Structure 1
Amino acid sequence: MHCVSTTPLDCAAMLATIAAIRGVPPVHCRARATIFVRHFATQDSGVATHSDQRYIARTKQLLQDARPALPRFAVQGDSIRPIFSPSQFYSELKDCIRGAQNSITLAALYLGHNEHDLITALSEALRSRPNLKVNLLLDSLRGTRDSGKGSSASILYPLLKAYPNRVRISMYHTPDLNGFLKQVMPPRFNEGIGLMHMKVYAFDDTLIMSGANMSHDYFTNRQDRYIVFSNKDITDYYCDLVSTVSSISYSLRDEDNNYVLDVASGLPDPVRDSKQFREHATRTLCSFLKKWSSVQQSPKDSTYDTTLYPLVQMGPFGLRQDERVTLAMLEHILHDKEQDNPAKLFITSGYFNIEKRYGQTIINSTAADVCLIAASPEANGFYNSAGISKYIPPAYTLIEQRFFNGVKRAGNADRIIIEEYLRKGWTYHAKGLWVYPPRSDLPVLTTIGSPNFGYRSMVRDLEAQLFLELSKLRQYSQLVTEATFKLPERQVPIWVGSVSRAIRTML
């Protein structure tokens, strides 16, 4: 989703958000909903400079020229607020569950096996409010994987059994995992083929967009981003998106006091009939996009200051709005030679694996200063994990080093830098993009959501993202230099280099 604004953001709030982000932490089928939040402002006044206005006008034109047409939502800036910490995010989720009167929609990769408090909160809300309905969308592969303490499906099953007519639990399965591949790929590794990666949390007219899943780490010491939108229209859009993906997913059903995954009548099975499923899903999702493309809200009054543009990226079904618009935006920002001073671009991802076209556009940029923020190996969720997955952080180190060397070869090391998030006891999972016009201390465009700007985000997984905030993420970031890659702990086994190239699209 993209946001455009005509009044200044609160500078203290923006800097606080940026500080929190800095201090916190394939071929996949992803559905991305992207919100570009653009604020027309300068640091000292409520009047945008000529440079700001030009960036606003040109970016707005790029969004409006997108085909098929993007929906546009005009909102008030004070209806958007950031959440800064995992614990605050957790409290907000529980408060919203307790306060919801009519509907709760939750979409994430999975629900952690320890999240009994969330289940209890949902159960109490359903018991006390007879009209309340709950819709949950998870990934089938991740949501049915049992770590020995239960799976998302087994944990949610009692809730479904207690309220069968008011609770809907759907599990998306990628059509790219089928046939022989489905039979031989073991659990956990098969998730590299494609996932439902959207994170959408909606409660009546309130929406929380994030990259965080519903599990203990994301509620305690795994830094992500979280934005609250108090707006019925944009909430309805994302609820409809989740409902649409749910309609092409397996349904969790009660059968003889156990749960089963069922295919709805008329829906081809994504594993056994993957070709037919892909065709059916493409038609369904295209109908969703066509319906919402006609929504073109105009400012309702003079206090309007922000416009939201949602994008969808679902590679397995040929839906690539986010990819096309993001690439066009990068070209515009990074190669705008009309500026006397450079713009500033910040990009962050928990996993440094930038898609090739994005990467080359950045490396060969001519007109902007760029800072990329990634997780250090210690802040990677796979750090010191068991088995072969412990080599995933070194693989990301190699990918980062190749990018670093590419920047040097292009002669852009003075303008393009990498920072790594490192905070003792924390991991990093934040994703986003921020654009600052020349001579401005406030961004005119930002994104928030779950995509990691990698091949997997673009082609394999289902994603959701918004354009919106930055400084807190950099509070715990350290500059990457050549010396970084010479440290003893950053030395990578030779075989990891070869394997990392082979599996890069799955990272």
Structure 2
Amino acid sequence: MLATIHSFRSIAPTVKTASMATCVRLLATQTAKSRQSDEDYVAKTRQLFHDNRPALPRFVVQGETVKPILSPSKFYSEMKDHIKKAQKSITLAALYLGHTENDLVEALSEALRSRPGLKVNLLLDSLRGTRDSGKGSSASLLYPLLKAYPSQVRISMYHTPDLSGLLKQVMPPRFNEGIGLMHMKVYAFDDTLIMSGANMSHDYFTNRQDRYVMFKNKDISEYYCDLVKAVSDLSYGLQDKGDTFQLKIGSGVPDPVEQSSAFKKHATKTIRAFMKKWASVQQSPKDASFDTTLYPLIQMGPLGIRQDERVTLSVLDHVLHDQELEGAAKVFITSGYFNFEKRYSQSIIHTKAANVGLIAASPEANGFFNSAGISKYIPPAYTLIEQRFFNDAKKAGNADRIKIEEYARKGWTYHAKGMWVYPPHSDLPVMTTIGSPNFGYRSIVRDLEAQLFLVTSNLGLRKSLHEELSSLRKYAYPVTEETFKAPDRQVPVWVGGASRAIRTML
């Protein structure tokens, strides 16, 4: 409807003197031109990925097999439903499993009990997954599952090689997680994949807004299961030690703590072999119904693998600075943490060919709001980074092109991340990203990340992606100069220096 409204406005002067039949023909012609313009933009965007060297894996699917999930509760119900239905395999990768998620563990247990041929592979971060809150940890919650079904269950805990030696000894729990984490979010059930930025805990299933997109496709599910397996092979394995558990590195894999340099060399070789294997997958449309192309990317800074960063910069350059287009594209980017890496930030601030909308968590919607200890100053640090960006955009003369919004919903926190791209004169997106990166420093240099770029001409899917963005913006409010003058947004002076010092950890 919105596209039609725009088209109607553009021909309004003609309508005054034209017959109704002429109006209809003009409107149809304008709409057809708009559709063709969108198709041309899609083709140009796809070519950007196809020209990439080294080659990226490419999967082509039908748009009807892709479905955004709009709420945390629906995400949780879909997960539990697919656990019940899975016949062959379940692969779950996240930063951690909440220590109270007994229902989810019981659902896995029931699935394993009723289907002896079912295999379950869980990958978590070692630091976060073994952190004991006083009520247990991810590892202690999952241990009974491993003990009951040792031949069906594999539980792996990835440990960053950047936390080793003296640093490992002196950094206390929780703070040591700033050095680097396994941050990928992958949920696969046989031939169904849910890509997300959400972890597996109560808040992510109830009142912590994230993003979740479901794909019903064997090939893309297999890719991500293989990625999780590759990282699992580099991780500590949770093992039964009689009345408790232990973490043990796999045979032939250097210990990431004791042999950091050797581990990095081995892990880099392993992941590059994975990338080379899947780069050969270059699917083409089987027919016109295969209208959606998927490009999975990974980013593993500690291993020198920066695929997602390279491609994201290329896409931003294409979308934000292509002045050959007739009209301005629209780009929306969201992150739970407003802390763009410098090159991302500069590309956005100096946009010449697109209007940009940025969505971030308000201080109250930040997961660290009113937390204990020094971490309560993390939301003010993000406020300061956001204010600097706001002022830089104004200095660049792009205050009208770039708009910031903050998500604020009573009782909710915000963790969504991703990008939507709308062609010029269009009210529906043709591209989005979905995955774990926050477009920030630590996503690039410290953590293991997985992200998927989706390009589509499918009208139904484009409408669904637009609805997904609209559902996020429903609770987002404009940021203005007055925002930063509010008493509750005043930031202690020392936070400014500290935020610069630890920016790569935020």
Question: Which residue, out of 303, 311, 322, partners 1:317?
Answer: 303
- Per-residue displacement from partner, 1:13-44 (whole Å, max 9, x unpaired)? xxxxxxxxxxxxxxxxxxxxxxxxxxxxx9x9
Residue 45 of structure 1 and its aligned partner are, at CA, apart by 6.2
Preserved CA contact (<8 Å) 1:84 1:226: yes
Instruction: Output the CA distance in 1 between the equivalents of 2:89 and 2:419.
Output: 31
**Residue number in structure 2 paired with 1:29:** none
Partner of 1:494: 493
Counterpart position of 2:94: 108
**1:504 lines up with 2:503 in the alignment:** yes
- Check the 8 A contact 2:437/2:443 in 1, yes or no: yes
2:167 maps to a residue whose letter is L
Number of the residue aligned with 1:212: 198
Shift of 1:60: 1.3
For residues 400-429 of structure 1, the C-alpha deviation after alignment (integer angstroms, 9 at most, x for no partner) is: 000001001101101101000000000000
CA distance in 1, matches of 2:50, 2:298: 15
For the pair 1:272 / 2:248, whether they are aligned, the reply is: no
1:482 partner SS: coil
Contact 2:433 2:451 in 1 (8 A): yes
The aligned residue for residue 472 of structure 1 is 471
Contact 2:195–2:214 (Cα < 8 Å) also in 1: yes
Note if contact 2:67-2:214 (Cα within 8 Å) is conserved in structure 1. Answer: yes
Q: CA deviation at 1:46?
A: 8.1
> Cα offset for 1:488?
0.4
The residue aligned with 2:207 is: 221
Is residue 181 from structure 1 mapped to residue 180 from structure 2 by the alignment? no
How far apart, CA to CA, are the structure 1 residues paired with 2:135 and 2:31?
A: 55
Partner of 2:11: none
What displacement does 1:444 show? Answer: 1.3
Residue 28 of structure 1 corresponds to which residue in structure 2?
A: none
Say if 2:296 and 2:453, in contact at 8 Å, map to a contact too. no
**Pairing of 1:31-42 with structure 2 (within 5 A):** none
Aligned counterpart, 1:434: 420
Match of 2:275 in 1: 289
Q: Provide the rounded CA distance (Å) in 2 between the counterparts of 1:46 and 1:76.
A: 22
Determine which of 330, 340, 347 is the counterpart of 1:354: 340
Q: Higher relative contact order by CA 8 Å / sep ≥ 6: 1 or 2? A: 1
In the alignment, is the contact (CA less than 8 A) between 2:34 and 2:425 conserved in 1? no
Equivalence map 1:102-251=2 (5 Å): 102-251=88-237
Say if 1:341 and 1:312 are closer, same or farther in 2 by CA, change over 3 A: same
The 1-side partners of 2:189 and 2:337 are apart by: 30
Aligned to 2:458: none
275-284 or 458-467: bigger deviation: 458-467
The CA deviation at 1:317 is: 1.2
Cα displacement (A) at 1:48: 6.0
SS of structure 2 residue aligned to 1:209: strand
User: Aligned equivalents of 1:45 and 1:301: distance in 2?
Assistant: 24
Q: Which amino acid aligns with 2:218?
A: K
Report the Cα offset of residue 47 of structure 1: 7.7
Aligned equivalents of 1:54, 1:458: Cα separation in 2: 32
- Alpha-carbon distance between aligned partners in 2 of 1:190 and 1:162, rounded to the nearest angstrom: 32
Matched, 1:444 2:443: no
Partner AA of 2:370 in structure 1: N
Deviations 1:449-505 (A, max 9, x none): 111000111111111223353211100000000000000000111111110000000
Q: How far apart in 1 are the matches of 2:429 and 2:235? A: 38
Q: Which residue of 2 aligns with 1:386?
A: 372
Relative to its length, the structure with more helix (as a share) is: 2
Q: CA deviation at 1:159?
A: 0.3
Q: Distance in 2 between matches of 1:425 and 1:358?
A: 31
Q: For residues 239-291 of structure 1, what are the alpha-carbon distances to aligned partners after superposition, in whole Å with 9 as ceiling and x for unaligned?
A: 00000000001100011311100011100000110000000001100110011
- Show the 5 A alignment for 1:364-383: 364-383=350-369
Counterpart position of 1:406 = 392
Q: Provide the TM-score with structure 1 as the length reference.
A: 0.90
Structure 1 Cα separation of the partners of residues 100 and 33 of structure 2? 49
- Point out 4+ residue stretches in structure 1 off by more than 4 angstroms: 44-48
**What's the counterpart of residue 17 of structure 2?**
none
The answer on 1:485 being equivalent to 2:493 is: no
Structure 2 counterpart of 1:318, which letter? Answer: G
Quick check: which has more Rg, 1 or 2? 2
Q: How many residues align?
A: 468
Q: Is the 8 A contact 2:94 2:184 kept in 1?
A: yes
* Equivalent pair of 1:178/1:271 in contact (CA under 8 Å): yes
Contiguous gaps of at least 5 residues in structure 2: 5-27, 455-464
Q: How far is the alpha carbon of 1:336 from its aligned partner?
A: 1.2
Q: How far is 1:302 from its partner?
A: 2.5
TM-score, with structure 2 as normaliser = 0.90
In structure 2, C-alpha distance between the alignment counterparts of 1:65 and 1:191, rounded to whole Å:
37
Structure 1: gaps spanning 5 or more residues? 1-7, 12-41
